Amino acid sequence: MSKNRAAIVLAAGKGKRMESDLPKVLHTINGRPMISVVLERLETLNISKTVLVIGYQGELVQKQLADSRVDFVWQREQLGTGHAVMMARRELADFEGTTLVALGDMPFVSTDSFKNLFDTHESLGAAATCLTAILDDPTGYGRIVRVPDSDLLQEIVEHRDATDEILAIKEINTGAFCFDNRLLYQSLDKITNQNSQQEYYLTDTIKILHGSGQKVAVVTTEDPDEGLGVNSTEQLDLLARKFAEKT
């Protein structure tokens, strides 16, 4: 690859609370599949290769995106976000540069925020950079634990694994990251599934990188709505209304 930016978009989930047999990313926001909105946001960012990780009803996602310039890889078992990114390893084995990881069900993250994430990560020479948001009600989201007296990131703690002290933090992980591709896969080799979900969390790479002395940075979006995800039909309806107001 001649350019130094790649992207992995995670789109394998069913969404157990969506009350539908559709893949989660094919649920629509005002008539458009969420995954189509996310991919459109990435089009102007000089990304040379985009890998889409599919799983549940993946054939439907492939059909929907038949005209998109993406490579598909399969996550046959739903073993967590870290495991999903591992599935893209072969596609990016020879890539040296910055890899964006984004969620296919987060259609509110703007092109400007993705651009700021890339630019900040590259200008700082960071091993990883996380896009965060500050929510009035952060229930259910992974919390951002910063290095004391610093703008750097120490770890991300998932809601179910958090102490009361960490649950009081209102800054959350949007699910969008930039990584040095080589360091991403080195750190993924070290993660385990020793957590409440027994899954391989992508967010565990942050603590590993920080613990090895690498710089892990943070970019905070100015619009807290960019941190909103979809885990139920109620959230989808709320997000659709917010999306309509902004377009």
User: CA nearest 53: which of 6, 118, 116, 111?
Assistant: 6
Residue 243 confidence (pLDDT) above 90 = no
pLDDT for 238 beyond 70: yes
CATH superfamily ID and name for 5-246: Spore Coat Polysaccharide Biosynthesis Protein SpsA; Chain A (3.90.550.10)
Within 13 A of 118's CA, how many CA atoms are on the CB side?
A: 21
For residue 84, is pLDDT > 50?
Answer: yes
Confidence of residue 247 (pLDDT cuts 50, 70, 90): low
| Count of helix runs (H) and strand runs (E) in the chain | 8, 11
Residues 20-37 have pLDDT tens digits of 889 999 999 889 999 999
User: Strand, helix or coil at 97?
Assistant: coil
Model confidence over 164-216: pLDDT tens digits?
999 999 999 999 999 999 999 999 999 999 988 899 999 999 999 999 999 99
Diameter of the chain by CA atoms?
49
Most confident of the ranges 12-16, 60-64, 231-235: 60-64
How many CB atoms are located within 10 Å of the residue 48 CB?
13
Distance CA 192, CA 213 (A): 20
CA torsion, points 155, 107, 92, 198, in degrees to nearest 10? 50
From the list 5, 17, 32, 89, the catalytic residue is 17
For helices 181-188 and 204-211, give the axis angle rounded to 10 degrees: 100
Tell me the pLDDT band of 2, cut-offs 50, 70 and 90: very low
**Given this model, what pLDDT does residue 56 score?**
96
3-state secondary structure of 233: helix
Note the pLDDT of residue 12: 96
Burial of 208-239, coded b for 16+ CB within 10 Å and e otherwise, reads: bbbeeebbbbbbbbeebbbbbbbeeeebbeeb
Distance in angstroms (rounded) separating the CA atoms of residues 240 and 218:
28
Beta bridge partner(s), residue 103:
10
Enumerate the β-bridge partners of residue 130.
177, 218
Mean predicted confidence (pLDDT) in 78-107: 97
17 in catalytic set: yes
pTM of the model: 0.95
